[in-house]
Structure formats: structure tokens, C-alpha cells
Amino acid sequence: MQETDWRFRVAHREAWIGLGLALFNFVWWFAFAYGLGSRPVEEYTYIFGLPDWFFYSCIVGFLVMAVLVTVVVNLFFVDVPFDEEQEERR
Amino acid sequence: MNYAVLIPMIAFLLIIFFIGYWSSRKLAGSSNFISDYFLGGRELGGFVLAMTMVATYGSASSFLGGPGTAYTMGFGWVLLAMTQVVTGYFVLMILGKKYAIMARRYEAVTMIDFLKARYGSTAVVLLSAFSIIVFLFSAMAAQWIGGARLIESLTGLSYQSALFLFAVSVLVYVTIGGFRAVALTDAVQGAVMLVGTLVLLIAVIISGGGISNIMQDLINENPNLVTPYGADGNLGAAYVSSFWILVGVGVVGLPQIAVRAMSYKNARSMHRALIIGTIVTGVIMLNMHLIGVFARPILPGIDVGDKVIPLIALETLPPWVAGIVLAAPMAAIMSTVDSLLLLVSSSIVKDVYLNYIKPDASLKAIKRMSFGVTGVLGVIVFLLALDPPDLLIFLNLFAFGGLEAAFIWPIVLGLYWKWGNKYGAIASMATGIISYIALHFYNIANGNLFGVHTVTVPVVLSLIAFIAFSLLIERRAYDYHAVLYRNEKQA
């Protein structure tokens, strides 16, 4: 048994984060689009002129994801060297 | 001829040429030609990386076909298009640092290099090279036709002359400049797309008398246009959701995208690209498809979807601005074509020729070969696009989904699952491609199985095949560090 490269642990964690973000993104997108969008058209309200389901699902959903990705990358993503020699010198 | 539209387009092409030329001078002083030509020497920064991914991915379909469908289907199709936001972060996060580290460890320049080193199998290499050459070649040819049609409709040139103009522009800079030229021009083209779509969206909203006004017109015409279910109410939730696989997470398996995920300089570039890529993808997709829907009350009765964007631009903008804005779909098509061209050529030169035909080729021979193959491929595509054969159109239908079903698990599980082996990879690729083609015919005849897009079931089947065959035949844990010991021994 040999120890696992510490950079792999970082990489694996970040891949899981990616999967989590995508799942969250999907749930948000789906819930607003089909939760609000399945009502009869007469009951739609309009935000900035756009149908409410679309506004929450696609506009707000996109903004939320953009902010989330920025925050997650800045807080949880670790700067690791990619080349082997660099790593050995450390 | 419409000179006011033509001049900005030509200026745009000249800038692209200049970048190709400038990159080729950098290439001349290069010590590692293969890695520089096909991968830009792994030194892309965050902005260029994000833009080249967006631009490669955003093709004729996102700029002409997609908005055209949104014009017919209404908001349901914009909802569908927004599934693509996920590609902005998902691909780089999933392949991520492990891919970057392993690609360097394997000294991989192409996605196939990676598969070759991971699975150590000639069959895997040849099967992948074959799928890439066949499918992406067809995809590329289809984009050429789109590009030529766009020039044709803008300038009034004949289709043949338009195609010739397009072919020459693409070939010159891909052949001399290689990956770096492609990535840099992608960055310029990505910026053009971003600004162009914004300008056009604003112009369309003004011309339609504001969003509320447009919305009222849409409801008056057909209330279904503002629902998530499409104009005829037959756009099901399962079908739209399955596009999360086709144009969302499945994009991880596309070779032209995967190769970009090994081209960046360091972790900081990747972090920046994640943020920029997400924002730029989202803005472009949202804008383009909203333009498609909003165009409907302004210019009713357009029956060819691909013409919606050119027509609405010419309608709502002064000619010279329309020229600049329409450089955006042009940019999208060119940037997709150039990456595909380079990828097909790298599969031939690097993955087949250097691996199996002449491993000891001299640097000079490799250079000649790379330029030559890229050029010859271009000429063949040009000739095919002059009068596209049916087979080409047919193969293009499988390009996206078929490649995703073939490659997604060999790449992702090869990276993260140590039990994955070559039998799993071969089974997974074969299952993916065959079931995709079979299901395609089934769906045409009987309607979509389970109400989802064709890509869904083959992706699941190829996952099962990968796991089953890896565990059943010669099960052995893969050591991700083994290649390191081998390298050290040699050193």
C-alpha cells in the first residue's frame, strides 16, 4: 500500500462539489419551471415582463449558479501544482 | 452585394488571420512541436481557456438552429437551452485537477493519449480514433455547410463562392497556427459572441416595444408560447430534462471539450475559467434563445429556423452593426470547425500515425505530416460540403450523442474508479455507439422511448457495460502512480 497523492484528495473533493452543484442546479431549474409553469397561463404573473416560472427557473437560477460557482471556487478550491517536479521540491 | 454588412465581417476575418499568423511565429521557435501544435503547450490562462471552451461548444446549433427552434416553440425551448449553463462549470470540475495531473504524468496531448495510457490497449486507441475521425469529421462538415449558408445569405455570393471563402479562412489559420491560434481566436470569437448577442437582444426588445408588449403579443397569438411545454404543448418535462445529459453533463465525454481540459497552465487558470465560463455560457445561451422567441411578434412567418437570427438582425439594426453582430454566429461556427479540424487531424497524426505506423518519425516529418493532414482534411471537407452526401448528414446526427455515450465513462471512470480496465472501456464504447444508433431508429419509428432524448438510455447502458466488464474480466485495481515509477526508472 502506498499513500495517495494529496493532490488527488483535493481533486476528488472538487469533483464531488461539481456533481453537487449540478444536482442543485437541476433541482432548482426543474422545480421552478414545472412547479410554477404547469399552472394555467391566465394565472401566471410577470416579473420584468417575463413569465414567473421562467424568471425564477432560468434568470434567477442562472444568477444563483453564477454566484454559487464564484463563492465555491474562491472558498473551497485549492491551488495545487500540476507538475511532478514542482511537487517534489516542496 | 450588401457592403455595409460585408465590411465588418471582412474586418473580423482579417483580425482572425492576424492572430493565426502571430501564433505561427511563436510556433516556429517551439522545442516541442507536437504539444505546441495540438495543445498550445499547456499554457492557456483562465480567460482564454473559458472562452475556447464556450466557443468550441457554442456552434451553429446554438446560434442559428437553437434560436430558430425557440422562435417556433416559445419559452419551453429557452428553458431547454438553459440546461447548457451546467457545462460552464461541470466539465472543468469533473475532469478537473485529476485530469490535469494525470495528463501531464502520461504526457498526453490528446484525449486518446490519455485513454491509451490509462487502459494500455491498442483496441481502445483504434476504436476511439475511429469514432472521432468518423463522427467529428461529419460534424465538422455540417458546420461548414452552415457557415457557407450564413455567408451566402448575408453577402448574396453563390453557395460555392461562400464555401470557398469560408474554407480558405479556416484552413489558413488552423494549418499554420495550431491549437494556440485556435484557442486565441476562440477567445476573440467568444467575446464577439457575448457582445453581439447583447446588442441584438436589446435591439429586439426595443423594436418589439418592450418585454411586456412582446409577451402580450405572444399570448394573443398562442398562450402555449409562454409555457414550458412548447407551442403545441407536447414538449414534455422528461424530454426537456433529458437535455441535461445531451447538452449538459454529457459534454464531459466530447473529445473536443475534453482536450481543452488538459490545456491550461495551472490551477488558478482553471479556477478563473470556471467562473468566466459559467457566466459567459449562461449569458450567451439566454440572450440567443430569448432573441429567437422575441423575434416572433416582430417578424412573423419565418419558416426556415436558421434564418431567424440573420433576418431579425438585418431588421432591427443598422446594416453595419448587423454586420458586426452577425459575425457572432460566424465566429461560433468557425471556432467549432477549427477545433474539430485540429482534433481529427491530431487523431490521425498523433494517435494513429505516430503510435502505430511510424513511431520514430523525425520532427521535420511530423511537422510536414501535421500541416499536410490538416490541409488535406480541409480540402476533403470542402469538396464534400459542395454537394453533401446523405451519409454525411446521417453520421452528423450521431456526432454529439454518440460520442458522449462512447466516451463519457471511459474518461470519467478511468479517472476516478481504479477498478476500470480496458475490457470495461471497450465494452462501454461499443455499447454506447451501437445502442445509440439502434435506439435512434427505434425512436424514429415508435416515438421516444420513455419520452426522453435518444442519448439517455445509451449513457446508462454504457455505464452498466463499463462496470460489469471491468469487474468480470481480469479485475485488478489500477495504480495511478505506476506511470510515475516507470518514468523515474527511465530517468
Range B422-450 average pLDDT: 87
Chain-chain contact of A73 with B271 (C-beta, under 8 angstroms): yes
* Chain B residue at shortest CA distance from A9: B98
Residue B24's pLDDT is 67
Span of A46-55, B151-160, B432-441 with lowest mean pLDDT: B151-160
Chain B residues in contact with A33 (beta carbon < 8 A): 79, 228, 237
Residue B271 contacts residue B46 (beta carbons within 8 Å): yes
Residue B342's pLDDT is 82
Residue B21's pLDDT is 72
Residue B488's pLDDT is 64
The one-letter amino acid at B237 = A
Report residue B449's pLDDT band, with 50, 70 and 90 as the boundaries. confident
Residue B145 contacts residue B388 (beta carbons within 8 Å): yes
List the grid coordinates of B198.
447583447
How many Å apart are CA B233 and CA B230, to the nearest integer? 5
Report residue B487's pLDDT band, with 50, 70 and 90 as the boundaries. low
- Please, which residues have CB within 8 angstroms of residue A5's CB and are 6 or more apart in sequence? B101, B480, B481
Q: What is the mean pLDDT of chain B?
A: 83
Residue B11's pLDDT is 82
Q: What percent of chain B has pLDDT over 70?
A: 93
Interface of A with B in 13-72 (CB under 8 A): 14-15, 17-19, 21-22, 25-26, 29-30, 33-34, 37-38, 41, 44, 46, 48-51, 53-54, 57-59, 61-62, 65-66, 69-70
Residue B1's pLDDT is 54
DSSP string, B452-488: S-TTHHHHHHHHHHHHHHHHHSS-----TTHHHHHHH
Residue B489 has pLDDT above 70, yes or no: no
Span of B229-243, B301-315, B324-338 with lowest mean pLDDT: B324-338
Residue A86's pLDDT is 46
Interface of B with A in 397-426 (CB under 8 A): 416
Residue B396's pLDDT is 67
- Please, which residues have CB within 8 angstroms of residue A61's CB and are 6 or more apart in sequence? A25, A28, A29, A32, B82
Count Cβ neighbours within 10 Å for each residue of B49-60 and write b for 16 or more, e otherwise: bbbbbbbbbbbb
- The beta-carbon neighbor of B279 closest among A8, A66, A82 is A66
Among B58-62, B477-481, B482-486, the range with the most confident prediction by mean pLDDT is B477-481
For chain A, which residues score pLDDT lower than 50? 1-2, 86-90
Residue B62 has pLDDT above 80, yes or no: no
B236 vs A: CB within 8 A: no
Report residue B130's pLDDT band, with 50, 70 and 90 as the boundaries. confident
Range B275-299 average pLDDT: 91
Residue A47's pLDDT is 92
Residue A87's pLDDT is 47
B219 vs A: CB within 8 A: yes
DSSP B208: T
Model-level ipTM above the cut of 0.85: yes
pLDDT digits (tens, 9 = 90+) for B237-249: 888 888 888 888 8
Range B172-185 average pLDDT: 72
Mutate to test the interface with A, among B73, B77, B79 (most CBs of A within 10 A): B79
Residue B475 has pLDDT above 80, yes or no: yes
A vs B, Cβ pairs < 8 A, gives 139
Residue B229 has pLDDT above 50, yes or no: yes
